Structure 1
Amino acid sequence: MTSTQVADTSATAGSDFAELSRLIKAAGLMRRRRRYYAARIGLNLAAFGGGWVAFVFLGDSWWQLFLAAFFAMVFAQLSFIGHDAGHKQIFRSRKANDATGLVHGGLTGLSYGWWIGTHARHHANPNHEDEDPDVDIAALAFSKAQSSRKRGFLRWMAKYQAFLFFPLLLLEGLNLHVSSVKAVWRKDVRRHKLESALLIAHLAAYLAAVFIVLSPLTGIIFILVHQFLWGLYMGCSFAPNHKGMEMLATGHQLDFLRKQVLTSRNVRGGPLTDFALGGLNYQIEHHLFPSMARPNLKHAQVIVRDFCARHSISYAQCGWLRSYGYVLQHLHEASEPLRRPATVTA
């Protein structure tokens, strides 16, 4: 698996996953959905452009904070398209998908190449303590073993992480920007010159628009509200997918099918949930078939859920709010050793 493309994981001819793949392909669910994506991208870009027109029209006003919240939602929707492009869900050609991802990365101020490399590692080993970057976060501990390794202020944060989790998500947008800049600066991405130009152009255009239209104080608060809410939205979209599910360690014996299903959780809901979470609410199906177009995931769910039932594979699904309950419960349990009273030896 390369650092520039999130790829599907192939299965052996006689495996359970190969059998499931044949069912999915026979149902036509691996076909591209170009009209869907054309409409989705068009609507996102219209909302993005329309938001900035409204921004200029409103001028230096505190009403701009409502637009900051609107842009948080738009940035998340643009990021979901970048995610789909990285998984080669939109086009068959890698170049076309990468071009789409780079454009959307430029619009949101993220490095597409950095995200692809990190996300590929996550998909290869979800919830693996040593190999999944999504469970290697300095401020959080996702297992008791991780919590025992925390020191200093990070140990204190891990101790109360269930209470700090949502406040920390407010910083996720800033973290994504900083990680993008670091990766491009270190030349860890293949198109580092292009991505450097895109990040600089985004930052210059964003700051110019904000501080030409708004006073310094209003502009700073606008940026904080926008970035905090965008980070919260992104974190709330990704957090329910794996947190609180089975954690894996080196030497586990799970095959590809079970590794992906047992470490993932779906979020129950209808069209509104599908829109709000960008299709990530079908996390099990997405992890099994990363290149499946977003609108096909809900149809694949019927097949995958039935297949798991027939093969006695636990299939996790719950409501949106309940999923956050599981996340907080898991974080609280993982940090439990840090809250034990210190024992005094004679």
Structure 2
Amino acid sequence: MSSTVIESIEQPDNGRAVPGAARERQVSEFTELTKMVQSAGLLRRRYAYYWTRFAVILLLLGGTAFAFFAIGPSWWQLVVAAVLALVLGQVMFLGHDAAHRQIFVSGRWNDWASLVVANLLAGMSYGWWNHKHSRHHAKPNTLGADGDIDAGAIVFTTENLERERTGIAGWFTQRQGWFFFPLLLLEGLNLHISGVKTIFGRGAVKRRPVEMAFVTLRLGGYLAIVFWFLPVGMAFAFLGVQLGLFGLYMGASFAPNHKGMPIVPASMKISFLHRQVLLSRNIRGGRFVDLFMGGLNYQIEHHLFPSMASPSLKKVQPMVRQFCADRGISYTETTLLHSYRIVVEYLNEVGLAARDPFQCPLVTEFRAAR
């Protein structure tokens, strides 16, 4: 057995052994849950909430810009850069919601909201990110389908290793968990570069001219202002802090939701309900965590109902949790700090498993959890 891949996941069958009947029951289970959620009014649009959120973000961006020009060429600008990184994180959470059709009924309105928020305000490519993220939502933690677990600098599963890593690469991989969060300091730059390569290359982009214009205006104007207003050394330091903390913030918000949860092969037959619940993790912690993670801490509910407005996820959580408990479906949630510990330990175990194929830490942990 692989060190990181669950080859089978037990699903309750209530005594029914006929595969076709089991599949029908699993489909009817999610239909039943959906009807409960609809009856509770939790799929309705939250226009006032999102317009307020958009206005607050514009005010925060305006306040940050005012502070930048008011402070002038001073090393206090690094504080402004740190604040800007956090504000842009909130911008991307809003762009994430728009991309999931959470804000408007009209798909076109949501698309344009995503373009304005992600491309024009944050300098990110909506088209690139949406294509990648849609694959993740369809089959999270699935080999060959979820790009978020493809091997890169970090190895998320030994099955995605093209060859054994030796020397410095091998040493790093065996300790990769400890390097994961420091490496996220480069993620902000990577996100911008990946988007630019896609919209100016041959990647699938729906509104390429618009994305090119918005990203060029945003990134070009941003760099011009920073280097015009600050000394060169200070300008580079400003960009380093802003991009570094932005990448760390994004990674620290997305990584706890799936890293360290079971990974399944593409050939596994598993219902939508079971796939989204068993392969996702919720993060509890109250209002601070809700704000810090932009609602992504309710990851199970978000994967079940991706078009649900983010403030409704908290309300639907008790319903989903009880629904899973009644049917014996494992529902995972933990604290933010504990999730970080899980991520670090899991990645280290994967790195060691690349050297010792007989270790199976994730399977052991999953079985113990059940």
- Give TM-score, length-normalised by structure 2: 0.86
3-state secondary structure, aligned to 1:267? strand
Measured at CA, do residues 33 and 12 of structure 1 come closer, stay the same or move farther in structure 2, by a change above 3 Å? farther
Tell me the distance in 1 between the aligned counterparts of 2:272 and 2:356. Answer: 37
Matched, 1:275 2:291: yes
Alignment of 1:194-343 (within 5 A): 194-339=210-355
Alignment of 1:100-139 (within 5 A): 100-105=113-118, 106-139=120-153
1:76 is displaced (CA, Å) by 0.3
Q: Would the aligned equivalents of 1:107 and 1:202 in 2 still touch at CA under 8 Å?
A: yes
Measured at CA, do residues 279 and 12 of structure 1 come closer, stay the same or move farther in structure 2, by a change above 3 Å? farther
Tell me the distance in 2 between the aligned counterparts of 1:15 and 1:147. Answer: 38
Q: Which runs of 5+ in 1 are unaligned?
A: 1-10, 342-346
Q: What is the match of residue 109 of structure 2?
A: 96
Mean Cα deviation higher: 244-253 or 289-298: 244-253
3-state secondary structure, aligned to 1:318? strand
Q: Would the aligned equivalents of 2:151 and 2:161 in 1 still touch at CA under 8 Å?
A: no
* 1:321-342 residue CA offsets vs partner (Å, 9 max, x unmatched): 000111111111111134559x
3-state secondary structure, aligned to 1:335? helix
3-state secondary structure, aligned to 2:217? helix
* 1:147-205 residue CA offsets vs partner (Å, 9 max, x unmatched): 57354665443222111101111111011001101111224211111111111111211
Q: What is the match of residue 149 of structure 1?
A: 163
1:264 is displaced (CA, Å) by 0.3
Q: Which runs of 5+ in 2 are unaligned?
A: 1-22, 358-370
Measured at CA, do residues 149 and 303 of structure 1 come closer, stay the same or move farther in structure 2, by a change above 3 Å? farther
Q: Would the aligned equivalents of 2:141 and 2:149 in 1 still touch at CA under 8 Å?
A: yes
Q: Structure 2: which amino acid aligns with 1:305?
A: R
Tell me the distance in 1 between the aligned counterparts of 2:40 and 2:63. Answer: 39
Q: Structure 1: which amino acid aligns with 2:311?
A: P
RMSD: 1.7
Matched, 1:177 2:164: no
Tell me the distance in 2 between the aligned counterparts of 1:334 and 1:219. Answer: 39
* 1:95-118 residue CA offsets vs partner (Å, 9 max, x unmatched): 111111101122111000111111
Measured at CA, do residues 187 and 339 of structure 1 come closer, stay the same or move farther in structure 2, by a change above 3 Å? closer
Tell me the distance in 2 between the aligned counterparts of 1:311 and 1:269. Answer: 26
- Identity score, percent: 48
Q: Would the aligned equivalents of 1:147 and 1:155 in 2 still touch at CA under 8 Å?
A: no
Count of equivalent residues:
331
Tell me the distance in 1 between the aligned counterparts of 2:164 and 2:172. Answer: 9
